[in-house]
Structure 1
Amino acid sequence: MRVPGLAVPDLTVRDRTAVELMDDPGCDLAALERTYAQFRAVNAVVAGWQWAYRRHVRPLLRADRVTTVLDVGSGGGDLARALARWARRDGRRVEVTGIDPDPRAHAWATRQPPVPGVGFRCAGSGDLVAEGRRFDVVVSNHVLHHLDEAALRALLADSRALARARVAHSDIARGAWAYRLFRVGTRPLASGSFVHEDGLTSIRRSYTPAELAAAAGPGWRVERPWPARNLLLDDGPAPDGVG
């Protein structure tokens, strides 16, 4: 039986053609900035990064040396700031760099109150590879579903080139209940920002665990912390002093 208000579109196939409003260079800037502002609360509920931090990032952090973390596609910067706060709470030393090629995201992130150990650049992952940069840990949140197949392969190759010890890309796992719950839970945010509409588009664009594993290829593994999440992981050889 179909429950009124809970019907979902066909999610059996990933929707590669749907475009998020915030990805439009000409979208309403005020609505975009309200979206960035709301990401911290929304991601705290849906992204599960406290769990991912405890399981996959914190074990690499040290109190006696600085661990470098790169947040790719950092958007409004909420994950970069959160990682630095959690590490400081745990007595660990980190430097987190958030990069985003969208100047609108970079401008918003750098206007926010500074957090010790966090910096931002308007750049893409390929720019840092070209510079020969390396980081102990490379992460991203809700980036993978934005990318077409070629861009995904490029990001994963860049991530391996940039990371000394670990890569952790967290994203939505496509599914009917994720769609239903997000639609109901974010309805109050439907006016004045892109969170509600773009979130539903994101779910349609996102991968199932099997699809993501196949797209990523050999050496990558997908963990599923809970039904609506994918965590794509790759561990390189840890350098001296890390791990």
Structure 2
Amino acid sequence: MWIGPRRMLPERMDDPAETEADWETALRDLGRLNRWTFANRPLHAFLDRFSGDRAVSVLDVGAGGGDVLMAVQDFFGARGIATDLTALDISPHAAPCAQRRHPGLRARWVTSDVFDLPEAERFDIILCTLVAHHLPDPDVVRLLRWLAARANKGWLILDLQRDALAWAGLWLGTRLLRLDPMVVHDSTASVSRAFRRADWQRFLAESGVAAKVRTSFPYRWAVTGGPM
């Protein structure tokens, strides 16, 4: 139940040697874990700010199995708002996994590092869910600047808190629920890589980006910015 400085422990999901089948099984159980912990509540609260728009373009950074963009499509679709969705993930497994998991998702898929996306690409809304903790500190600062430069209306980072109870809860819960071994391993590694408020304050100061940092149950950060 370690709560010291960030430790960039290895995560199996980042390992290119993992097979597509193993990656997809892990995404399935990760999606279940996110549903059980109400992970979409801060996402919906953020999206509600754009309910008066007629159309929005949305980029999901680290789109994984497409769960977040599917939630976005459903949210805006229920309000009659047209969406132009783009999913970006560095893993070649992401697009085929998402297409099998969410055949109704209408999104353009891009397999790329976020920092390699062409400079001309801009979006109304950019989402970054459970991605920042995969990055070393300098790249988190770089990501904040990137989001501020590319989002026309607003951006959202949702990520984990580095907390002893979060670590213990994931260690125990993933085992009791018999989740996929990749999820069991990566869950506590992710908390070790995660953030405390002082980390976000430092990153924002170094980046020169203005943003609001809020806590979200359970043990999540919601960092929001943009000209809103």
Whether TM exceeds 0.5 here: the answer is yes
Matches within 5 A, 1:4-43: 8=1, 10-16=2-8, 18-43=9-34
For the structure 1 residues 101 and 28, does the alpha-carbon distance in structure 2 shift closer, same or farther, using more than 3 Å as the test?
closer
Specify the alignment match of 1:235 in structure 2.
226
Match of 1:105 among 87, 94, 112: 94
Task: Please tell me the residue identity of whatever aligns with 2:7.
Answer: D
Render the CA deviation track for 1:109-162: whole Å, top value 9, x for unaligned.
2333423543322123233342x0111111111001100122222222221221
Out of 193, 199, 209, the position equivalent to 2:187 is 199
The code of the aligned residue for 1:235 comes to G
Post-superposition offset of 1:204 = 0.7
The whole-number CA distance in structure 2 between the counterparts of 1:214 and 1:227 is 23
The one-letter amino acid paired with 1:144 is: A
1:32, distance to aligned residue in structure 2 (A): 1.6
Computed over aligned residues only, the root mean square deviation of the Cα atoms, in angstroms, reads 2.1
**Could you tell me whether the CA contact under 8 Å between 1:101 and 1:124 is conserved in 2?**
yes
After superposition, residues 39-54 of structure 1 pair within 5 angstroms as 39-46=30-37, 48-54=39-45
Match of 2:47 in 1: 57
Distance in 2, Cα, partners of 1:116 & 1:167:
21
**Structure whose alpha-carbon radius of gyration is higher:** 1
Written as runs of structure 1 = structure 2, the 5 A alignment for 1:51-200 is 51-54=42-45, 56-62=46-52, 65-130=54-119, 132-188=120-176, 190=178, 192-200=180-188
d(CA) in 1 for partners of 2:170, 2:195 = 16
CA distance in 1, matches of 2:62, 2:111: 10
What is the one-letter code of the residue matched to 1:91?
G
Structure 2 residue ranges without an equivalent (≥5): none
How far has the Cα of 1:107 moved from its partner? 2.7
Counterpart of 1:112, as a letter, is: R
Tell me how far apart the structure 1 counterparts of residues 19 and 125 of structure 2 sit (CA, whole Å): 34
Percent of pairs with identical residues: 25
Q: Which runs of 5 or more residues in structure 1 are unaligned? A: 1-7, 239-243
- CA change 1:156–1:133 in 2 (3 A) is same
Per-residue CA deviations over 1:69-109 (Å, capped at 9, x if unaligned) read 11101111111111111221233322221100111223322
* Number of corresponding residues: 225
Moved more, 194-203 or 31-40: 31-40
Aligned residue identity for 2:31: R
Task: Describe the SS at the equivalent of 2:94.
Answer: helix
Change (3 A) 1:216 1:47: farther
Q: Which moved more, 1:145-154 or 1:105-114?
A: 105-114
